[in-house]
């Protein structure tokens, strides 16, 4: 059965497609010439399932989206010593601000350029050549994405030729002994880190790795320790969106990191990774349509981190076959992750005849996305010849209709009668 998720994502893209606010970054020549129009989104669940829409295979450079991951890699290599060279406080300043903590002379956090240059210098040991360090970095980013990433060397060369601002940052860091390498080498190494190329699918998988406690959900490889993944997400949530970080957390509530080429990565712990791409940026350097997509996703999927909702991945409590009837018992909060896992179970079980009884008495709340996905999948099942019935005494699925009408409803007695016939299976399919 076809999942309704891709169509939902297509609709989201359509809602923002005509917005041409903002402008492509112009301080890196290759970005100034970039096509401003591509638009794409991808989601990856912590079970490794990917959904995508729009220009989802289009490659773009990661830029600042590398920062949280390389911070994670530095923590893997050096543990808490990383915090000797970089702080954990939001800076509230723009990404390339020439500022350091006044008393410690460390950059405020690893998400601003000063912090990212300092962290880059730790990778593969402070004595590493630029070449070896960059190779380690790109290899690591490839393990996160589950494939070897290409690198836009031409863009990196051009960026380095005009990198006065980043060079100023590197000189400042050197003058305070935060880095030891030659300033030009430090910036070269950092800029090459930023030039790794990804699609939104890659971003979604990389973000899902953070959401999944450091285990890449497709390859199964533990790429980061759980504590490192958590710390990385924490820093993203307070500083990932630069001087817009506070408003972002209030409005969207998904730890995120933006890049100047238009990518935007978001990671919701225990649930999913998100990647969007749209090159026009706002004055804070964050993708305009990317931001809108996240706002809509957060609202309609109920993804705000501060929602008191339980994580919904175990929404299917059991699937039991009693004669002609299959009873699907749902539980918890039916948010996006829950609806996605329900759809996945239903698709796996290829129901074609008899009656599907949905028992929702254990459901706590249903987000609008849950209702929407459920009704679309139930409609498809009905048109495939299946009868649908609901046991919903407290009307949790309010307004849920299948093809415009309310499905047959079973009361407790009727459900008990269905369940009085011993199940043919043990609930595990
Ligand atoms: N390479 C870019 C720079 O250092 C990355 C900045 C960004 O994506 N915000 O300026």
Structure tokens at 57: 């295979």
Q: Is the CB of 193 under 6 A from ligand 1?
A: no
Q: Please check whether residue 127 lies inside any domain of the structure.
A: yes
Q: Is 51 annotated as a binding residue?
A: no
Q: Please check whether residue 137 lies inside any domain of the structure.
A: yes
**CATH number, domain containing residue 338:** 3.30.750.24
Boundary residue ending a domain (260, 276, 301): 301
Q: Is 190 annotated as a binding residue?
A: yes
Shared domain for 287 and 337, answered yes or no, is no
Residue 69, pLDDT above cutoff 50:
yes
Task: Give the C-alpha distances (Å, rounded to integers) separating 54 from 3, 97, 187, 280, 283.
Answer: 16, 34, 34, 16, 25
Shared domain for 324 and 270, answered yes or no, is no
Q: Ligand 1 centre and the CA of 333: distance in Å? A: 39
DSSP code for 144: H
Whose Cα sits closest to atom 4 in ligand 1? Answer: 113
Residue range 246-272: average pLDDT? Answer: 95
Distance between the two ends of the chain, CA-based, in angstroms?
17
Q: Please check whether residue 410 lies inside any domain of the structure.
A: yes
Shared domain for 286 and 342, answered yes or no, is no
Structure tokens at 100: 């350091």
> What's the confidence (pLDDT) of residue 219?
93
pLDDT category of residue 1 using cuts at 50, 70 and 90: low
| Mutation to probe ligand 1, out of 25, 66, 95 (largest number of atoms < 8 A from CB) | 95
Shared domain for 258 and 345, answered yes or no, is no
**CATH number, domain containing residue 220:** 3.40.710.10
Q: Domain tally for the chain?
A: 2
pLDDT category of residue 311 using cuts at 50, 70 and 90: low
Q: Give the helix ranges, DSSP H, for 243-367.
A: 245-251, 288-301, 336-349
Mean pLDDT of the chain: 91
Shared domain for 331 and 291, answered yes or no, is no
Shared domain for 136 and 222, answered yes or no, is yes
Shared domain for 273 and 359, answered yes or no, is no
Q: Please check whether residue 309 lies inside any domain of the structure.
A: no
Boundary residue ending a domain (242, 267, 301): 301
Q: What pTM did the predictor assign? A: 0.85
pLDDT category of residue 309 using cuts at 50, 70 and 90: low
Q: Please check whether residue 429 lies inside any domain of the structure.
A: no
pLDDT digit string, tens, across residues 278-307:
999 999 899 999 999 999 999 888 888 887
| Mutation to probe ligand 1, out of 259, 283, 290 (largest number of atoms < 8 A from CB) | 259
Residue range 255-260: average pLDDT? Answer: 96
Q: Is the CB of 200 under 6 A from ligand 1?
A: no
Shared domain for 278 and 339, answered yes or no, is no
pLDDT digit string, tens, across residues 219-229:
999 999 999 99
Domain that holds residue 340: 316-419
Q: Please check whether residue 306 lies inside any domain of the structure.
A: no
E-assigned strand segments in 55-155:
60-61
């Amino acid at each position: 059965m076809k999942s309704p998720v891709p169509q939902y994502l297509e609709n989201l893209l359509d809602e923002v497609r005509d917005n041409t606010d903002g402008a492509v970054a112009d301080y890196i020549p290759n970005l100034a010439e970039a096509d401003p129009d591509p638009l794409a989104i991808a989601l990856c669940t912590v079970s490794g399932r990917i959904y995508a829409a729009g220009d989802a295979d289009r490659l773009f450079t990661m830029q600042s989206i590398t920062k949280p991951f390389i911070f994670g890699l530095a923590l893997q290599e050096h543990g808490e010593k990383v915090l000797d060279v970089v702080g954990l406080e939001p800076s509230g300043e723009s990404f390339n601000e020439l500022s350091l903590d006044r008393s410690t002379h460390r950059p405020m956090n690893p998400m601003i350029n000063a912090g990212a240059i300092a962290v880059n210098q730790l990778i593969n040991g402070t004595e590493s050549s630029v070449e070896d360090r960059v190779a380690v970095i790109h290899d690591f980013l490839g393990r996160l994405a589950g494939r070897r990433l290409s690198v836009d060397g031409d863009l990196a060369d051009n960026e380095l030729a005009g990198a006065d601002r980043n060079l100023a940052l590197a000189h400042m860091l050197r003058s305070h002994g935060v880095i030891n390498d030659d300033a030009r080498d430090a910036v070269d190494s950092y800029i090459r880190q930023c030039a790794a190329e990804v699609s939104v699918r890659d971003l979604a998988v990389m973000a899902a790795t953070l959401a999944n406690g450091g285990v890449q959900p497709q390859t199964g490889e533990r790429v980061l320790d759980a504590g490192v993944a958590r710390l990385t997400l924490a820093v993203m949530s307070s500083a990932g969106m630069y001087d817009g970080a506070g408003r972002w957390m209030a409005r969207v509530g998904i730890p995120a990191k933006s890049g100047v080429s238009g990518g935007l990565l978001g990671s919701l712990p225990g649930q999913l990774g998100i990647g969007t791409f749209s090159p026009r940026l706002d004055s804070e350097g964050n993708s305009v349509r990317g931001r809108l997509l996240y706002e809509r996703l957060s609202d309609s999927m109920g993804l705000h981190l501060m929602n008191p909702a339980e994580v919904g991945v175990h929404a299917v409590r059991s699937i039991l076959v009693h004669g002609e009837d299959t009873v699907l018992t749902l539980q918890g909060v039916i948010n996006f992750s829950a609806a996605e896992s329900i759809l996945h179970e239903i698709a796996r079980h290829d129901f074609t005849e008899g009656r599907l009884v949905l028992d929702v008495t254990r459901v706590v709340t249903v987000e609008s996305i849950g209702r929407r996905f459920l009704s679309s999948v139930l409609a498809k099942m009905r048109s495939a010849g299946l009868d649908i019935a609901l046991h919903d005494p407290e009307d949790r699925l309010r307004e849920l209709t299948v093809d415009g009408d309310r499905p047959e409803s079973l009361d407790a007695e009727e459900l008990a009668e269905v369940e009085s016939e011993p199940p043919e299976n043990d609930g595990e399919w």
